[in-house]
Structure 1
Amino acid sequence: MAEVFEHPPVSVNGCEISAAAIGVEVQNHPASGADTAWESAARALVFRQLLIDEANRLEIMSVGLVDAEGRKLADEDARIEALLEQEVRCPNADETTIQRFYERHADRFTSPTLVEAEHILFSASPDDDLAYGLATGDARMAIRALMTDPGRFAELALKHSACPSREQGGNLGQIGPGQTVKEFEDVLFDLGEGELHPEPVKTRFGVHVIRAGRRIVGEQIPLEFVRDKIAQYLEEASWRRAVAQYLAILASQAKIEGVDIGGADGPLVQ
């Protein structure tokens, strides 16, 4: 029989957080093990209790706040929101900070390179060695035919391809990063315009003949189009840090038993 770990009682300034409450909270903290989930849930409820106690001390009452979807918050949730709004301050992102972030993370603000893709799919399961081998042989024959006469691509796609793109001569349209399986993408983006890959490309869908078409190289997105998103990101990050620091101060002033809260950057902060 597996050993059952007995968790110690958890309390904040002498106020016990029941095992039942922690058990309910556990469902919000998926983890690799039951003990890890329990500890995460216990820490979240400790942070919550710290905030409720501070709202009580400051006599902060519910102000009828609503969530992002317009639903009225429960009384304790509303009091916590009001407390954080009153006690936690963080600056708005200024133009210099936004500009610096934009320049340091230029790759985040570049449109993806797009490559027009043509392919012929010889369908076979990688688990079926015989079928996969035959499909690879058929793909090699198609590649040899295309090297002799590139203009036959649409004809061969219509005749052999197991992909619906066969009706468009094998043309998949413009493909961006992450839109295809890695094996296909690695080959496609390494080809020049109009270049046929000289070897069959194997994926979980089967064996492909791949030719690249027109390439549209990604370009830098102007700052004015992403300024608001950058400001929102920076301000949300600043807010999370400020709340984490505020919780750390509250925790340092409290007597917490039964769980190691570690840093204050917990689920409630997120």
Structure 2
Amino acid sequence: MTQTLFPDLIVNGEAVPHTAIANEAQNHDAPAGKPGIAWRKAAHAMVVRTLLLQEARHRGLTASPQDLAPGRTETEEEALIRGLLEAQLTVEAPTEAELRAEYDRDPARFRSPPLWEVSHILIECDPRHAEERATAKQRAKEIAAQAHASPKDFARLAKESSDCASGAQGGRLGQMRPGDAVPEFERVLRTMSEDEVTPDPVLSRHGWHVIRLDALAEGAVLPFEAARTGIADAMEKLRWSVAARAFVAELMKRADIEGLPPMAA
């Protein structure tokens, strides 16, 4: 993918560098062989970011970066966007009746955290480097195919191939709960069944993983009183998201945008 594939992107007279779109494209999925889809998604994301920053500066807002996690602090641009949305958006808290209705719709959705017994094989790489990422993925795919062809050999494959220290224990990571693994890893765990091995390697910040779910203990259904806070948080976040999308849509409606490629259907 080269810079000439798409025209220059200009938002209210402000040019968005191709390098910024290319960096953003790394955060968006696309089918193999179709990098233009990731570029389009990234271009739309950069338009939204640019519009929000322009609006924040137009209103004279100042950045007050907050700590997000140990060693992770907001950038000034992130703080400006957060400040703008906090100043602009207001959502009503759900009523007790709405909370109860959401719970009663399907109480089985509200459970205590699951417990996973997990093994994996890690093929280490820096996912930011395309060539290194591709080479590691090919190796991980070969190992995944071997694990599916002979499931009983998973521990041996881990000992022989894994770049994780757990390889010495046959890839066993032991028991894990939500939050114990990086988000990319956990998202896949939540979709797996007992004794399942991922058909394709899973990419995380550490490299490619071939994952086996050795055992699964589903959490128990929570009573309404225990689930209430979580339901309220989820409903408020949804309402905030809807309001944010409407706000962005209004900014885009008023904006002068050149060179924005259409999104694929």
Pair in the same fold by TM > 0.5:
yes
Equivalence for 1:24: 23
What whole-Å deviation, never above 9, does each CA across 1:130-166 have from its counterpart, x for those lacking one? xxxxxxxxxxxxxxxxxxxxxxxxxxxxxxxxxxxxx
- Aligned residue number for residue 38 of structure 2: 37
Could you say which residue in structure 2 is the equivalent of 1:59? 60
Per-residue CA deviations over 1:59-118 (Å, capped at 9, x if unaligned) read: 011123332557432111111111100001111222111111001122313689xxxxxx
Shift of 1:21: 1.2
SS in 2 for 1:86: helix
Unpaired segments ≥5 residues, structure 1: 113-124, 129-176, 183-217, 263-270
CA contact (8 A) 2:67 2:74 kept: yes
CA-CA distance at 1:179 after TM superposition:
5.0
Tell whether 2:234 aligns with 1:233. Answer: yes
Give the conservation status (yes or no) of the 8 Å contact 2:6–2:261.
no
Match of 2:194 in 1: 180
State the match for 1:94 in structure 2.
95
Q: 2:43 touches 2:261 (CA, 8 Å); kept in 1?
A: no
Equivalence for 1:10: 9
Q: 1:88 to 1:12 in 2, by over 3 A?
A: same
Counterpart residue number, 1:106: 107
Identify if the C-alpha distance between structure 1 residues 72 and 126 changes in structure 2 by more than 3 Å, giving closer, same or farther.
closer
Distance across 2 between alignment mates of 1:23 and 1:99: 45
Q: Secondary structure at the match of 1:28?
A: coil
Structure with greater Cα Rg: 1
Q: Which whole-Å deviations, capped at 9, do the CAs of 1:213-261 have from their partners, x for residues lacking one? A: xxxxx97531001101111111111111111111001110101121157
The residue identity in structure 2 corresponding to 1:75 is E
Would you say how many aligned residue pairs link Structure 1 and Structure 2? 168
CA distance in 2, matches of 1:44, 1:248: 13
Q: 1:214-225, aligned counterparts within 5 Å?
A: 221-225=222-226
User: Quick check: 4-13 or 239-248, which moved more?
Assistant: 4-13
CA RMSD of aligned residues (A): 3.3
Q: Following the alignment from structure 2 to structure 1, what is the Cα–Cα distance between the partners of residues 50 and 224? A: 42
Aligned ranges for residues 112-151 of structure 1 at < 5 Å? none
In structure 1, distance between residues paired with 2:16 and 2:60: 22
Question: In structure 2, what is the equivalent of residue 75 of structure 1?
Answer: 76
1: CA distance between counterparts of 2:42 and 2:92?
A: 31
Q: How far apart are residue 43 of structure 1 and its match?
A: 0.7
Among the aligned pairs, what percent are the same residue? Answer: 32
1:246 aligned onto 2:243: no
